Structure 1
Amino acid sequence: MRPRIRRVLEILMRSDDWIPVSALAEETGAGVRTLFRDLLELEYFLRPYGATIDKKRSLGVRLSGDVSKLAFRGKNEQTRISWMTAEQRQLSILVFLAFNPRTVKLAEIATLFSVSDSCVSSDLKDLDAVLERSSPGVLIVRQKGIGVSLEGPEWRLRAAALDCIVQLLRPEQLLQVVRASGESGPIGRMAAVLGMVRDRERIVDAIARAEKRLMLHFSWADLSLLFVYLGLALKRKTVRHEGVEPVFLSPAALSVPEDVARDLWNSLAASDPDETVWLRAVLSSLEAGESGESVSVHPAVPRIVKQLSASLSAGGFTGCEFDPRLPSLLEAALSPIVCKKLFSIPVAGQFSFERLSFPSVSESSYDAVVRDTVIPLARELAGVDLSMRDLEPVRMALLTADGTLAPRKPNPRIVVTCLEGLCMAHLVTSVIRGSFPEVVVVASLSSDRLGEEWLAAERIDLIVSTFPTGLSSADEYLVSLPFDAAAFRTDFAKKISLFRARPDATAAGRSGSGEWNISPGSSDASAAPASAAFPEDAESAVDAPISLLQSFRLKLVDAPFLEEGLTALIAGEVAKGKKEMLRLKRDLDERESYGQVVLEQSGIRLFHCRSAAVGKPVGGVVRIAPGAPGGAPAAAMPGATYVYLIAPDPAKPGEIAALSKISVALIEDESFTLALRTQNESGIRKRLFAVFASSF
């Protein structure tokens, strides 16, 4: 808030009487016309706090409404976006107008983005040109003295808004909006101010139910796109429109059952046939997040893939020999692109990456085959115009052809996951398999399906991801984006060499040779150390179980006890000082923000994290006393059992291995989980000793 406006607010708060504008101008040292402009800006600041300014000719102005919340400092930053470039601001203005289907004053937009009215007018002129070029029929309507609004065919208007959002936010930023992470940061504030995050919980729950009906999980990028579309549709559901275009009535492109789309919409708003048709088109255009999961492909896609295979074979692309998995991967990559183009839904931009060469022909010839085959067939069979940029996912799928053979030895075991889409995960997988044949890729995922139980059950040693997962059951390697295969090979070889130097580093390695060799094709194979002897790690493999046995405690808590206080209780039990306790609670809360870990077999809830607040691995049990009433709705159930496992940060391999043994026992050893739920501290330690003894 500017100093003069803050001064005006202070003057108005001093009295409930009418204050002449001339008196305000005299006291603030500004002109009367300037004061009228300041009062208009002040109204927008007051609106979120339930207050307003009454104006009366010949009497003046005064505050009205609930003024009890006006003792704030700096909160105006929560209702303004002042950090954007001119291009970002223009995109945001269009998104704001789409999410607010009403006539908006220029002064409101100017205040929102901390610019002048003339700057907003200039931005609107630039937007006119953009809309004329990319979204014919969508117009910014100006009413002199009243304001501006976004008008036009409803579906084209929504598609234009989605396109602006895709240009404005990267996939991982959109995912932050969906997950409500970083709400206090610039992305979270921007989404809130533009109106993109209302009804977040209802929309997320409705999407989860739709995924269950379809028996699949959408990729992170397309899940975020669906979330934003539903928010936009709910804001615009009352806008009158002229029905749906014929393209939305084509059964060939609508692969999602109508009742799924109808039930999804009806769970959020009143029944509307047109909204159901539009939503069905959006759902049919989304990419599945895992291999083997897919909405039915567009009828034209199998023919396009078959012709592409024949063209590549005729062109001498010996590196593109299709294995049984590749055609289905190509169909899963191409079908969402065709459907999105058919319905004018934006295709999220793919990260750029180094272009890999095929052994027998030049790269330009390869691109020519894809361009000359896929683009004309898509136009002929599906009626859509594709560009090479749109076909990047298809290209990445083709690049996996050299790496689809299974590795010879199952060491080490990794999972590859990506928020951008399944094709990026498969591209990273193909590079790993081509250069590191000793590494086995257990799965390539795109959706948020990873969990501690799954990692332990599949004996995963390393998570290769484009986005921090926050999981602690396996080490994590973050892929640098934009993806560069040569740089990735070099850096990943270093990561594998560190694993190779660590004794007993993987679950698979414990029963095998324990010696991992980097593929001779790796550019960094010579960097791997000849010796794999870290004495301090070998020592930690013995010390860590002993430390856990000595420190493992049982805490009995009387009911009622609110679950939200568990992290504070655990931190108080483990940490030695107040500073360490606060640090550990923050680390536990941060891990919990990614989602609760509940073991399905036993019903035990697991708290775990890495924290610099502890110097050695710590574990224990919190058990709610049985037989007592539960109390408040958020209270823990009587007899509920909670296990906490805390690793130091940084942690030695032996310490992580000891905690992993407990994690595996929580999943596989029923006698151990029974002891945690029923026995005293001595009995629990006896079972814990048996867990460690069985692995030596």
Structure 2
Amino acid sequence: MRLGQITARQRQILLLLMSRTEGMTAAEIAAEIGVSVRTVHREMEEIEKGLQGADVLLHKKSGTGIRLEGETPEGIAQLRKRLLEGKPADYSVEERKILMLCALLEADEPIKLFALAHSLKVTVPTVSSDLDELEPLMKRFKLNLIRRRGYGVELEGTEAVRRRAICRLAEEYLDYSDLVGDGYSDAREPVTARLLSMVGKPVLLDVEKSLWDMNWSWTESLSESAYTSMLIALSVSVKRIRQGRRMEEADIATQDGASSSMEEARDFAVRLGETLEIPFTDSEMKYISNLFEAARDMSEVSELAHTDVEMVEMAHRLIERVQRRTGIPFQEDRTLRAGLVEHIGAAMKRIREGTRIRNPLLSPIRKDYEELFGIVRHSVDELRLGLTIPDEEIGFLVMHFGASSERLNQLGHHLKAILVCSSGLSSSRLLGTRLNKEMPQIEVLGNVSWYEAARMPKEQYDLIISTIDLPLPKDRYVRLSPLLTADDKEALLQYIQSTSVKPGGSGTAVNRIEEQRKAASFERLRLQAALMNAIVSLLDGFHVHDLDNRPDDLEGTLNEALAKVYECGAVSDAEKVKERLLERERMGTQLIPDTTLALFHTRSRYIACPSLTLFRLAHAAPLEDGAEAGVILLMLAPKQLPKESLEVLSEISAMLLGSELIELMERGGEDEIRSYLAEELQHFFNHRP
């Protein structure tokens, strides 16, 4: 094959076919690389011509798809090597636009159009057209595109804005495995290579180590996405400082609460500066303190996802429809409901913001769960959400349902494993349930982030199973696909046999496993006690108040309600909590459909303990979209919330989908409501898996 004439897309198709030895249909290829089926067929014609004399045959068969086959044992391997070593004749449209944006973000002066065209191997008119399409994205990043004849093109924006744009691109186009793995080739993924360079990948783990060495409790409580976003932003800052692009005081907005982080930012900057031998100015330290506060806020943005009635109701309707079509009792699976509520909330945010959605498992999901994929797609379309839900998101939902269907037949366990996945809870749960079903000797303890896996004491687990490369020695973990293919199972068995942890072993390993079983029994009792304590504590603190509020004044109504909660000691800063509640209401009314009850909920570090309080209003309070509330249920929880408390709050929010509790909330007495909640939560406790 003449590699000098192969395009980036053709190279992408060939590498994809090499990874799918069983073959792929043109539709699967199109879905995987984001083009039309017609484009795939057109590219295949060119690929077939180019493969002549390459000792590789292209087989096309209706029904089974397209696959590559080597005429000699070395044929495929040699072709792969030549593809990875060679440079494509051009970039894909998406690659070209992102590379162009990267060049403009890094430039200190205007770039001539012909220089951009030459570097991207296209014509000047093509560059102009790409810039037209990129301009809305640049405006979203708060960057101005300046284009003048004879002057060139450049981006106008502060250093803070440029850094945020680089971080946003990195978060949208890089996977966790790109950031922390080590098996990466520049020639294979030009966009990934450029973004990793802009992020400063070589120093990212140094930044992370310095951050971890600070021993701050708040970093451990951050969500994985918030923690990783903060790491990327800190690493970008280091890279920009080394390039001489420093933050100016005027560029930094004062963020609410940032002053409390300033001392931490100074301590961290001193430690990191000594490690990397770079100085941090006061402006840079102020910027770091803002990053710390942003990470805290990002972790809180999820609010009480499991208690968001809109999300719970959406998950309930979806489960109901899929169950009706499959006959599988999905409604009985609380883990499925919790996973869907969490995923749907994040997915809706991504779709509404226009964030690029990637699902690297879409093609195998379509193949392994073909019927279920169609059922979930049809069920989602029936919900009429008013949004276009891409197949990538449907694929994630299918993984939740696939995991649930396989969770019904779990067997006993002998080894303990922790999972690290880059695609979120859906992929980890699918892999976990497949392991439980097909390799019952392995007990999955749970899903952890890549930075947690690197620090967990070895005594707490037998195996680390990851779907991404980790910053650990290769003998510390085994990498598998979330779909657990036959090759994956073989690799896992070989890994187990090559380590000191072996099923049915003798001596210390067996003794340790027996000790772990006994410890697990005690741990289960402890968790049950914690769950019951959470139920009793929440019900003990439940109260109903009649509120003589002013008409047409939601803010004043919340002030009065929170004053009652403040008196009980459940809230430390009522003003901060009120602002968060109002912000959530502005995103969409919290009124439960066809009722007068609104569920106002939030999770914040300004809340001392979980609380549930009902307020019956003298005057209806105005909500978003012209709605009005006659009753407000205030559900509050601290930022660091035990899993057991979250489960209880989630269960109560699910009860609000039933008419009986709604009627009690609107008209029943305090003791009557508490008794109903107690009975339902007792049932939940007794039947919890």
TM bin (shorter chain)? 0.3 to 0.5
* Normalised TM-score (structure 1): 0.44
Rg bigger for which structure? 1
What's the TM-score once normalised by structure 2's chain length?
0.44
Larger relative contact order (Cα-Cα within 8 Å, sequence gap ≥ 6): 2
Structure whose residues are more often helix by fraction: 2
